[in-house]
Amino acid sequence: MTNQRPKLSILILTWNGAQVIKKNLDSIFKHWPKDNSWELIVVDNDSKDETKEIVKKYKRIKLIENRKNHGFAKGNNIGIPKAIGKYVLFLNQDIEQKGKAIQKMIDFLDENEKYGLVAPQLLYPNGNIQLSCRPFYNWKNIFIDYLTLGWYRKSCYDHFKSQTVDQPMASVLMIRKKILDKVKGFDAQRDFWIYFNDMDLSYRIHKEGYSHYLLTEAKFFHHHGESTRKLFEGKRLWEYHRGLKRYFLKHHIKGRFSLSWWVLCFLVLPLSFLMMLVKSFLLAILQRIRK
């Protein structure tokens, strides 16, 4: 058994995650067999808190310590070549497995060759379902989403049932390693520093002829936003729209200064930025009223 290739490589990217990483690791070790059928790789993006010290207390973890914060895409790409499992499970640091969710995801991919990746049902800490899947963004979908104030994106899938979906969040994703190698992992271009790199990856896997699946029988708690919350609001908005622009330039715009380029830069991006800014402002007011 020791000379065999592990079935699963678990890859966790950390950055100042001391408050959440222990719950993540404990939930993995609690429900995982004590054999060589899996490996666990942690890539740390230059944490300044106690994250690395906490990780080092666990056995069987391969810790990669980056000297700076490379962002989500490049940080994960650093770990992918080290993964030798048949499947690679990407986990955010703020994730907590419920029961034997990981094994259920493995079983699904073993039994369904047409699917390139599988994602679980994500739950908020209070047990409510997080709407974690959305359609691929294109010109039609994005304008419908804006006109419905985000309702379309949130209501496109019934998150109570297992089904084929376009793009699950990369908070928890299990992907076949052969596909990751074929598409060369995440696009680590600087505009994909934190947002839209997961949609881009799913879209490229989709173009290779594979489907994606939401497996609601597998469940994870998601302490949502523990990483991005550390970025101030202006930074989050800026990075989101950098990613949105990169995604459309890559997949839906044939050339710079074309009509679609002008529509993106001078209609879609300003409209999106304004709507998100107003939404953040209204949420802040609502929170003050509740206090």
Residue 226 has a pLDDT of 52
Flag whether 31 is in a domain.
yes
Question: Do 142 and 242 belong to one domain?
Answer: no
Q: Are residues 239 and 279 in the same domain?
A: yes
Residue from 269, 24, 61, 70 nearest 185 by CA: 70
**3, part of any domain:** no
User: How is residue 255 written in tokens?
Assistant: 């050339």
**Does the structure show a pLDDT above 90 at 23?**
yes
> How many domains in the chain?
2
- Determine the 3-state secondary structure of 252 from DSSP: coil
Mean confidence (pLDDT) of the chain: 91
Q: Single out the residue in 212, 227, 242 at which a domain terminates.
A: 227
Angle at 131 (CA atoms; ends 125, 132), nearest 5 degrees: 95
Confidence of residue 1 (pLDDT cuts 50, 70, 90): very low
Q: Bridge-partner residues for 213, per DSSP?
A: 118, 164
Do 145 and 254 lie in one domain? The reply is no
Q: What six digits make up the tokens of 196?
A: 């839209």
Does residue 35 form part of some domain?
yes
Under a CB-based contact definition with an 8 Å cutoff, are residues 31 and 96 in contact?
A: no
Question: pLDDT > 70: what percent of the chain?
Answer: 95
Among the candidates 193, 227, 261, a domain finishes at 227
Domain match, 190 and 100 both: yes
Round to whole Å and give the CA distance between 222 and 129. 10
In a domain, 105, yes or no: yes
Q: Residue 135 has what DSSP assignment?
A: P
Helix, strand and coil in the chain, % to nearest 5: 45, 20, 35
Shared-domain flag, residues 253 and 237: yes
Domain boundary among 206, 227, 248: 227
112 and 70 together in one domain: yes
Span 133-183, pLDDT tens digits: 999 999 998 888 877 767 788 789 999 999 999 999 999 999 999 999 999
- Tell me the C-alpha distance between 140 and 7, whole Å: 40
Whether residue 18 lies inside any domain: the answer is yes
pLDDT category at 273 given cuts 50, 70, 90 is confident
Question: Does residue 177 share a domain with residue 36?
Answer: yes
Q: Report CA Rg, the chain.
A: 19
- Asked if residue 1 is part of any domain, the answer here is no
User: Tens digits of per-residue pLDDT, 79-117?
Assistant: 999 999 999 999 999 999 999 999 999 999 999 999 999
pLDDT digits (tens, 9 = 90+) for 182-217: 999 999 998 898 899 999 999 999 999 999 999 999
Confidence label for 225 from pLDDT (cuts 50, 70 and 90):
low
Residue 93: which domain range? Answer: 8-227
pTM summary value: 0.90
